[in-house]
Amino acid sequence: MNIIESEALELLEFYKIKKYLTELCYSNGAKQKASHISVFENHENLIVELNRVDELKNTLSGNSFFPDIQFEDFRKEASLLSLEGSMLTEEQFLLVKESTEISNTAIRFLKNRKQDLPNLSQLADELEDNKVIVVEIDRIIDFDAKVKNSASKELQKIRKELSEKKRESDIKFDRQVNELRKLGFIRDNEESFFNGRRTLAVLVEYKSEVSGFVHNKSETGKTIFIEPGSTISINNDIAELEIDERREINRILRELTDTLRPFAVQLKQYNDLLIELDFLRAKAKHAQLINATLPVISANSELKLNKAFHPILFLQNKELKKNTVPLNIHLNSKNHLVVISGPNAGGKSITLKTVGLLQTMLQSGLLVSVAENSVMSYFKHILIDIGDTQSIEHELSTYSARLKNMIAILKQVNSKTLVLMDEFGSGTDPELGGAMAEVVLEELVKSKTFGIITTHFPNVKLLANKLDGVLNGSMLFDLETLDPKYILTVGEPGSSYTFEVAERVGFPKDLIERAKQRIDTEKVDLNALLAEVQQQKTKLAEAVERTEHEEFLRKISKEKYEVLSTNFRDKIERERERKIELARLADFGQKYLRLMEEWNKNEDRKMVIKRFIDGITAETNKRKELAKQNKRDNFAEKKVARLKPLLKIGSKVKILNSTEIGIVESMKDEKVSITFGILKMTVNMENLELVKD
């Protein structure tokens, strides 16, 4: 049996995922792979595929280089090349050349990235790039898919002669046109083409005046299309040369085909490689669209979804600029089943479909829309029973169909099975259906099956509370507004809000009270209690969310304050340095102005020059001393930063250039109090050296 049945895939709308993928593919081969994507039956192959998609997604997301793999499938050309006696056309050769160039780039890229793309690079392990194909085709075919004149001397000779003949034909034809136009024998559109030959559009009344071969007549009968007699002979020569040209081209193409025939298998491998890369790129692009990641893949059965989104709903809401509420759920060997209850339209079914679709996507080699700290595993069977499966063709009732599904499910359940069942036990008398649901739930527990089940039956909720391995869950609901929150909470069952909804919509209160009296009082009390518990939990969740948000805002404010404070201190320091520099420049400027005045007044200019040189020397020495001081300060600062974490009360130290060892008594900022026997002294930290035992 398949890991997941096609009917289940239809219910999960997996076909929409296929459609997204197909649209992201470029080549027909990749599109075909995307439209037929299915779950992997081999666990090891699945892990490799997931890692390849993840590596490619990270490469694309990081704006790193990845080869352009837009190409047309060339498997047909590769297959034709492998047939003895075959011949490829100019267009086919150009396609093979361009595809080989793309393949060569991809192979070289993958071989050079083995360290950071270990899984992707495996695709090129058995392949080598091929320059011969490109060189040989480039020698014969030009960029317009035409055989080059240089392909052979014979072709060059034929084309030269052909060009001369055509030029001669054109001269004769143009001369004839000019003569007949003067005589008024031809129409304004004086020429046309038939069978590749130029013809004159001669007025029918002058046809006997123009010698030549009649090719056609207009529908009105007023125009005759005549090939002038003066060009017939030369046109015959041109036609013959064109036949010779085509024969020579075919000979060249056959020769080229024979040259490249040994590479037919390699070209098929290239085609397969490019299709696979195109397909993987589509998967990576799809992952980017839905913010998908690669969860931790556990060898044991486990399903821990954090911030999981239904990918189709996420894309739809994204287009509508609406939020999608994430799902959190955790199943493991200890708690492997969750029974979800609560009102209709609260999100129970979408929870099932989210889990089912994400698990199917993962096992089909696709990244899934969950947080990176999520954990998923490989299930041998994914069994789904969602919606009304009544079959008119087989005349089965809804309940009969559901029972048949249950039988099929129970035959395959074990710890490697994931079961998703909606409206568990529905379709028949509630009391009887509930009893059947209980025994099925017990069997699922015994078999260690993983699964999520939705129900309205109180007895199933109570049983779930008693059985080991089963947890109750509910969808959060606002009792005041009766609006669903689409948030799954695990720990207690949910209320159906039957009477609350009825009262909210204006149902007569006396009828509601009469309805309450007709059912078990304990059920009413339980339902009310569940509703109250859920409301309290909702308020608590909102309070926690508010507290977390306030804490987040406080953290942001603190970080913002620290950044602003640091910037402000830096600004003050820069301003101080700027003022010192301005004062220094002002002082230097005043000295320079005084020297200028003395230069103009004093006849003994040698003295002025000496004073100028002395001033420059003094300023230079001052700068050198300042640089030395800064160096000493930096050294001291670095030394303190290195020594401070190592010093503690009781540490043995000695003062630089001293042999006496002291004991650290206390420290404050960068001042250290030290005892040397009976002598105590305080020393700056940069002047100390730590003594190791």
pLDDT over 50 at 413, yes or no: yes
Domain ranges of the chain: 15-149+259-289, 152-242, 296-494, 551-638, 647-690
Residue 690 CA, distance from chain mean position: 54
User: In 478-520, where does DSSP find H-type helix?
Assistant: 498-504, 509-517
pLDDT over 80 at 211, yes or no: yes
Residues 6+ apart with CB under 8 A from 681: 673, 674
3-class SS of residue 452: strand
Nearest to 449 by CA among 531, 360, 383, 524: 383
pLDDT over 90 at 148, yes or no: yes
Structure tokens at 119: 């899984």
What is the rounded distance in angstroms from the CA atom of residue 265 to the CA atom of residue 200? 54
What integer pLDDT is reported at residue 425 of this predicted model? 58
Q: Residue range 324-352: average pLDDT?
A: 84
pLDDT tens-digit map of 22-55: 999 999 999 999 999 999 999 999 999 999 999 9
Give the highest mean pLDDT range of 31-45, 523-537, 607-621.
Answer: 31-45
Residue matched to tokens 């003949």:
165
Q: Is 195 left (phi over 0), alpha (psi -120 to 50) or beta?
A: left
pLDDT over 70 at 482, yes or no: no
CA gyration radius for the chain?
44
The total of other beta-carbon atoms located within 10 Å of residue 130's CB is 18
Nearest to 5 by CA among 391, 356, 376, 279: 356
What integer pLDDT is reported at residue 503 of this predicted model? 60
Give the DSSP letter string of 6-61. HHHHHHTTHHHHHHHHHHH--SHHHHHHHHT----S-HHHHHHHHHHHHHHHHHHH
The total of other beta-carbon atoms located within 10 Å of residue 502's CB is 15
What is the rounded distance in angstroms from the CA atom of residue 497 to the CA atom of residue 505? 12
What integer pLDDT is reported at residue 154 of this predicted model? 96
pLDDT over 50 at 670, yes or no: yes
- The type of residue at 530 is L
> Which overall architecture, per CATH, does domain 647-690 show?
Roll (2.30)
Distances (CA, A) of 452 to 303, 383, 386, 398, 411: 11, 11, 11, 21, 18
Specify the range with the lowest mean pLDDT, choosing from 77-86, 466-475, 524-533. 524-533
The share of the chain scoring above pLDDT 90, in percent, equals 41
pLDDT tens-digit map of 678-689: 788 888 887 888
3-class SS of residue 576: helix
What is the rounded distance in angstroms from the CA atom of residue 541 to the CA atom of residue 646? 46
> Which overall architecture, per CATH, does domain 296-494 show?
3-Layer(aba) Sandwich (3.40)
Specify the range with the lowest mean pLDDT, choosing from 222-236, 244-258, 589-603. 589-603
Structure tokens at 170: 């054109």
pLDDT over 60 at 501, yes or no: no
Q: Which residues pair with 217 in a beta bridge?
A: 224
Nearest to 448 by CA among 428, 476, 418: 418
3-class SS of residue 287: helix
> Which overall architecture, per CATH, does domain 15-149+259-289 show?
Orthogonal Bundle (1.10)
Specify the range with the lowest mean pLDDT, choosing from 233-247, 320-334, 509-523. 509-523
Q: Residue range 455-484: average pLDDT?
A: 74
- The type of residue at 37 is I
State the pairing for strand pair 671-676/662-668.
Answer: antiparallel
Local confidence band at 649 (pLDDT 50, 70, 90 cut-offs): confident
Q: Residue range 511-538: average pLDDT?
A: 56
Q: Is 342 left (phi over 0), alpha (psi -120 to 50) or beta?
A: left
Give the torsion sign (CA, 117, 120, 123, 129). Answer: negative
What integer pLDDT is reported at residue 439 of this predicted model? 84
Residue matched to tokens 């499910």:
409
Q: Residue range 262-273: average pLDDT?
A: 96
Residues 515 and 503: beta-carbon distance below 8 Å: no
- Say which residue, 557 or 317, is predicted with more confidence: 317
Structure tokens at 195: 């069978």
Structure tokens at 576: 């101080």
3-class SS of residue 469: coil
Q: What is the largest CA-CA distance in the chain?
A: 141
- Mean confidence (pLDDT) of the chain: 83
Give the highest mean pLDDT range of 64-78, 152-166, 380-394.
Answer: 152-166
- The type of residue at 235 is N
What is the rounded distance in angstroms from the CA atom of residue 245 to the CA atom of residue 154? 9
